[in-house]
Amino acid sequence: MSSSTTDKIKGLANEAVGNVKQGIGKATDNDKLQAEGKAQELKGEAQKTVGDVKDGASNLADKVKSKI
């Protein structure tokens, strides 16, 4: 599995867990858990972005190689 795919999978997992934490925090009136969930969701979004950037760089490198 490529590192970009791994980043995307980890990102999706962190987003999902973050959303669950936010929901539980909201349901139980736990501000700390809501904040942790939001932070984890943002971490997941960042990981997915890293994966997308890696894919883009890889695709660009392949295009450049094919023209040489």
Residue with tokens 């809501």: 34
- 56 vs 44: CA distance, rounded Å: 18
Q: Is the dihedral of CA 16, 20, 22, 23 positive or negative?
A: positive
Say if CB 30 and CB 5 are below 8 A apart: no
With tokens 């660009």, the residue in question is 60
The domain of 27 spans 3-67
pLDDT score of 43: 98
In the chain, which stretches have pLDDT less than 70?
none
Predicted pLDDT of residue 30: 98
Which tokens go with 41? Answer: 């969701």
Give the end-to-end CA distance of the chain in Å, rounded to a whole number.
Answer: 27
Work out how many domains the chain is built from and give that number. Answer: 1
